[in-house]
Amino acid sequence: MITTDILIIGAGPTGLFTVFEAGLLKLKCHLIDALPQPGGQCSEIYPKKPIYDIPAYPEILAGDLTDKLLEQCKQFEPGFTLGERAETIEKQEDGTFIVTTNKGTKHQAPVVAIAGGLGSFEPRKPLIDNIVDYEEKGVEYMIKEPEMYRDKRVVIAGGGDSALDWTIFLADVASNVTLVHRRNEFRGHLDSVEKVQELKNAGKINLVTPAEITAINGNGKVESIEVTKKDEAPYLIETDHFIPLFGLSPKLGPIANWGLEIEKNAIKVNNALDYQTNIPGIFAIGDVNTYPGKLKLILCGFHEATLMCQAAYKIIHPGKRYVLKYTTVSGVDGFDGTRKEAPKAVVKAIQ
């Protein structure tokens, strides 16, 4: 059982900034995310796109914003359960909540902050009849541990940035990489498209276009896939892994069954006060919530996280008063023993 003060569901920008704000109040956080890496939409959908409306950053790449948020909250030593989806929540007699993931990991906390954005991202699956039989047996929709492909034969399908980036990366790891796409054109960064072209020209990868994977074969695990090129007879490619990278579609998912008030696929909260849901102790912040005038913007998630942490403090330390202090005045004490503070004024005579 993982125990913490605030259990955050969703490690997007809102969830990550919550760790920092909670840390200022000496509250510990643990984050659960269905994706294998933190950053939410910023890391998964548009890491290389510049954002222009983050206060004090005239321009910052979404991936760099994630790195900065991780750097900022590191001192508060957050725990992470990554690559697992929060599935169920149970209220205990002592008022705490136990959240269990799809892989059975249990987490207990007196406060739950749902920062689930558009929901957990579910992979778009190709329409191949028996594909589910091979999931985790050679078919993977996301790459969590690139090392597992070392010296293996890999077939990647897709035509976007993920398919291009992983083809480039795995070209140096796997024994053989084949990229299959249903069009000749790829939609991705120009430098990635050019790099894949170079790898193909150098014979380091196989490119099969325009083509689709039409069947998977194997005895208990993937052994080959069937490729069908336009106007040609299907043929087999022997492989250890088949990785369809057709993007992810967000779904509110299991959270929708937690007894929370939902409106248009978002969780209703009390925005006049603290972003608490209809269940006391469960808050919803960032893109996942709704209230009159809601804007799905990163800076709004930061604001909501800040107010939510103040309310969480009152639940965790009932009766204790917290007096807001500027970090410039109080400094920041990390849970890792670090201390940041503005230089003190000195009293010194001038001769």
Q: Is 126 in the site for ligand FAD (CB under 6 A)?
A: no
Q: Is 276 in the site for ligand FAD (CB under 6 A)?
A: no
Distance of CA 100 to the CA centre of its chain: 18
Stretch that binds ligand FAD, among 5-13, 132-140, 150-158, 233-241 (CB under 6 A): 5-13
Q: Judge whether 75 and 66 are in contact, CB under 8 Å.
A: no
Among 112, 90, 99, 105, smallest CA distance to 5 is for: 112
- Contacts of 184 by beta carbon, 8 Å cutoff, 6+ apart: 209, 210
Q: Judge whether 290 and 278 are in contact, CB under 8 Å.
A: no
What is the C-alpha separation between 309 and 210, in angstroms, rounded?
51
What is the C-alpha separation between 157 and 152, in angstroms, rounded?
16
Q: Is 117 helix (H, G, I), strand (E, B) or coil?
A: coil
Q: Is 211 in the site for ligand FAD (CB under 6 A)?
A: no
In the bound complex, what is the minimum distance in angstroms from residue 116's beta carbon to ligand FAD? 3
Q: Is 33 in the site for ligand FAD (CB under 6 A)?
A: yes
Q: Which is nearer to ligand FAD, 291 or 317 (CB)?
A: 291
What is the C-alpha separation between 206 and 147, in angstroms, rounded?
20
Q: Is 286 in the site for ligand FAD (CB under 6 A)?
A: yes
Q: Judge whether 8 and 21 are in contact, CB under 8 Å.
A: no
Q: Is 34 in the site for ligand FAD (CB under 6 A)?
A: yes
In the bound complex, what is the minimum distance in angstroms from residue 86's beta carbon to ligand FAD? 4
The residue type at 174: A
Q: Is 117 in the site for ligand FAD (CB under 6 A)?
A: yes
Q: Which is nearer to ligand FAD, 15 or 244 (CB)?
A: 15
Stretch that binds ligand FAD, among 146-154, 209-217, 224-232, 247-255 (CB under 6 A): 247-255
Binding ligand FAD by CB under 6 A: which of 25, 36, 46, 209?
A: 46
Q: Is 35 in the site for ligand FAD (CB under 6 A)?
A: yes
What is the C-alpha separation between 301 and 72, in angstroms, rounded?
16
Q: Is 89 in the site for ligand FAD (CB under 6 A)?
A: no
Q: Which is nearer to ligand FAD, 78 or 254 (CB)?
A: 254
Task: Classify strands 266-268 and 289-290 as parallel, antiparallel or unpaired.
Answer: parallel
Q: Which is nearer to ligand FAD, 161 or 240 (CB)?
A: 161
What is the C-alpha separation between 239 and 222, in angstroms, rounded?
7
Q: Is 287 in the site for ligand FAD (CB under 6 A)?
A: yes
Q: Which helix (H) or strand (E) covers residue 216, if one does?
A: strand 211-217
**Encoding tokens for residue 235?**
């043929």
* Count of residues of this chain found to bind ligand FAD when the rule CB under 6 A is applied: 37
Stretch that binds ligand FAD, among 118-126, 181-189, 239-247, 316-324 (CB under 6 A): 118-126
Q: Is 317 in the site for ligand FAD (CB under 6 A)?
A: no
In the bound complex, what is the minimum distance in angstroms from residue 81's beta carbon to ligand FAD? 8
Task: Classify strands 111-114 and 6-9 as parallel, antiparallel or unpaired.
Answer: parallel
Q: Which residues bind ligand FAD (CB under 6 A)?
A: 9-15, 32-35, 40-42, 45-46, 51, 53, 85-86, 115-121, 253-255, 286-287, 296-299, 301
